[in-house]
Amino acid sequence: MKIIDLSDEHKPLYFVCLEDWSEEMKESGSHKEVWYDKIKDKGLGVKLAVDDDGKACGMIQYIPIEESAVDGKDLYFIYCIWVHGYKKKGVGNRQKRGMGKALLEAAEADAKAKRANGIAAWGLALPFWMKASWFKKQGYKKVDKQGFQTLLWKPFSEDAVPPKWVKQKKKPVIHEGKVTVTSFKNGWCPAQNIVFERAKRAAAELGDKVIFREIDTFDKEVFLEWGISDALFIDQKQVRTGPPPSYEKIKKKITKKVRKLARHR
């Protein structure tokens, strides 16, 4: 196994988080590719873990923290790390063989070489998906918390300043006599891009009782105005989007609100 920088050859696989076998992934559209083209010259680092047959089995992506949705300075921020873990799909389950650790070490070495004062990561205080406990095991310390999401970091120098989550600043505006579906999208995460596409499709299908609002949080000013990076709201209620709810589930939730509207007329 070796760790390599993202090459043109692996880009299509990277844009679908190594899941080229997934039907669901196809729903994520081209948002990640569009995001990549906009951010690639702003210090984005992407490393892949490649097995002896040349197959990409793991990935890590990180960015100067100033470009991310986290408040910090002179640090790097890890958007995500993923070692393919699905049995009998694509390259199969490659977890727990040292790839994750090697990817993280490579990202840290790169951040140090670029003279960052440290590196930050986010994880969930839940026993699945991006687990905060895994980063703790790799020497990261918890520095901030927002709901289930923990912000962790590993400072490289004494003058490193701890990062903070940017707090949510406001809720979407609702419209009298309509259901408002508001989807916040940065573009970096295919899972969140799937949610965006499903919500857009469901809102369109439900007709003129539903207003769909797209908020592009790639624009840093827009992100800071809201303090929200990726999220889905039906009126002012936030829908849980990790893991992505199915199209049917999103449509059902919006339909319920539309029916409520009709009853209150």
Ligand X SMILES: CC(C)(COP(=O)(O)OP(=O)(O)OC[C@H]1O[C@@H](n2cnc3c(N)ncnc32)[C@H](O)[C@@H]1OP(=O)(O)O)[C@@H](O)C(=O)NCCC(=O)NCCS
Q: Residue with structure tokens 């089995």?
A: 57
- Asked if 50 touches ligand X (CB under 6 A), the answer is no
CB of 125 to ligand X, least distance (A): 14
For tokens 């190594």, what's the residue? Answer: 18
Q: Which residues contact 202 (CB under 8 A, 6 or more apart)?
A: 181, 247, 250, 251, 254
Strand partners, 211: 180
Tokens of 110: 């790169």
Interface with ligand X includes 175 (CB under 6 A)? Answer: no
- Does 126 engage in binding with ligand X (CB under 6 A)? no
2 binds ligand X (CB under 6 A): no
Could you say which residues in the range 6-35 bind ligand X, by CB under 6 A?
A: none
Q: Closest distance between ligand X and the C-beta of residue 17, in Å? A: 7
Closest CB to ligand X belongs to which residue?
100
Are the beta carbons of 168 and 229 closer than 8 angstroms?
no
How many Å apart are CA 91 and CA 55, to the nearest integer? 8
| Candidate list 4, 27, 66, 95; residue touching ligand X; CB under 6 A | 95
Q: Does the protein bind ligand X through residue 48 (CB under 6 A)?
A: no
Among 29, 33, 134, 206, binds ligand X (CB under 6 A): 134
| Cβ closest to ligand X, residue 80 vs residue 161 | 80
Residues 6 or more apart whose CB falls under 8 angstroms from that of 163 comprise 65, 70, 71, 72, 75, 77, 120, 143, 144, 151, 153
* Minimum distance of ligand X from residue 190's CB (angstroms): 9
**Considering only CA atoms, which of 213, 222, 204, 209 is closest in space to residue 181?**
213
| C-alpha radius of gyration, the chain, whole number | 19
User: Dmax of the chain from CA atoms?
Assistant: 65
Contact segment (CB under 6 A) with ligand X among 89-97, 173-181, 199-207, 209-217 equals 89-97
- Say whether residue 130 binds ligand X (CB under 6 A): yes
Assess 137 for contact with ligand X (CB under 6 A).
yes
Task: Point out which span in 93-101, 192-200, 203-211, 225-233 binds ligand X (CB under 6 A).
Answer: 93-101
Residues that bind ligand X (CB under 6 A): 80-83, 85, 95-101, 129-130, 134, 137
